[in-house]
Amino acid sequence: MTDKLILNVNNLNIAEENNSTVIKDLTFKVEKNSITTIFAPLGSGKTTSLKIINENRYSKNIQFFGKRSFYIPQHSIIPNNLTVKNVIKLYTDEVHDKKVKTILNLVGLEGYENHVPNLESKGFLFRIALAVGLILNADMFLLDDVFLKMKNLTKIEIFNLLLNLKKRIDITFLIASSNYTDSILVSDKIVFAKGNPFEKLFEEKIELKDENVQLRLQSELFLKIKDDLNKKLSDYNLRDFVL
């Protein structure tokens, strides 16, 4: 079974110094070459959970079977006034230009090596962060609500990029999101959770076969999945998330 897994989180419990529980009995698995989303309301503890998973990925309760994980926060990690190539060199200078060009081509930034990005361009900055992770040979990316402030058109482009990358190379995404529609559109599986403490409610496999997000959005199956999950979520009285 473990040969199919890249991450196994088993009965993870985290408490603060005052013994109040932050994460309670968190258990879920992430398969290799998949997109798994942890869906929970804003401020519920998704960021804390992703950071703990990333920083303690070889602990007793967190088993990581990949080569390297790479955490991308919601807010940009890209410095100001640097070209794309120079941003990559901040993380490693042991990479040949040919590999840089190959990676930039993978993330849709071919020809932008000497471009200085606009820090307001969320999609462009995300592509650079992806490129940095790939340069560092990461095979699992932890994406912390990175789509929250992207424009809808940009999000669709990025979702299509993730689906395309998953098809072309050995790559896995673990996404934290408070956007319900986004979670269904891009995921192979959704782990539904609540906050205070952060705790899993249930998980659901999503079987949308179209490789284009626009087609998924227009499909009857998408509407059925969304409607079925709406009914299931209503039992938990979740608030503070984006439909």
Q: Give 10-residue mean pLDDT values along the chain (243 residues).
A: 87 84 94 97 91 83 94 85 88 79 94 88 94 94 94 95 95 96 96 93 94 94 94 75 58
Token pair 């205070």 in the structure block, residue: 196
Backbone angles phi, psi at 89, to 5 degrees: -70, -20
For residue 78, what pLDDT is reported? Answer: 79
Token pair 């999503």 in the structure block, residue: 206
H or E element in which residue 10 lies? strand 5-15
Backbone angles phi, psi at 155, to 5 degrees: -60, -45
- Taking a C-beta distance cutoff of 8 angstroms, is the pair 6, 65 a contact? yes
CA distances 82 to 102, 119, 127, 226, Å, are 20, 11, 15, 42
Token pair 């804390």 in the structure block, residue: 48
Q: How many CB atoms lie within 10 A of CB 146?
A: 25
Q: Quote the pTM value.
A: 0.93
Q: How many CB atoms lie within 10 A of CB 181?
A: 14
> Could you give all domains of the chain from N- to C-terminal order, each with its CATH number?
1-66+139-243 (3.40.50.300), 77-138 (no CATH)
For residue 241, what pLDDT is reported? Answer: 60
In angstroms, the CA 119 to CA 174 distance is 24
Question: Longest Cα pair distance anywhere in the chain, in angstroms?
Answer: 54
- Taking a C-beta distance cutoff of 8 angstroms, is the pair 126, 73 a contact? no
For residue 59, what pLDDT is reported? Answer: 77
For residue 92, what pLDDT is reported? Answer: 78
In angstroms, the CA 217 to CA 113 distance is 33
Q: Is 136 exposed, middle or buried (0-12, 13-18, 19+ CB in 10 A)?
A: middle
Q: Is 226 exposed, middle or buried (0-12, 13-18, 19+ CB in 10 A)?
A: middle
Tokens encoding 62: 């967190």
Rg of the chain on CA atoms, in Å: 18
For residue 105, what pLDDT is reported? Answer: 95
Cα 86 → chain centroid? 25
For residue 39, what pLDDT is reported? Answer: 95
- Taking a C-beta distance cutoff of 8 angstroms, is the pair 133, 72 a contact? yes
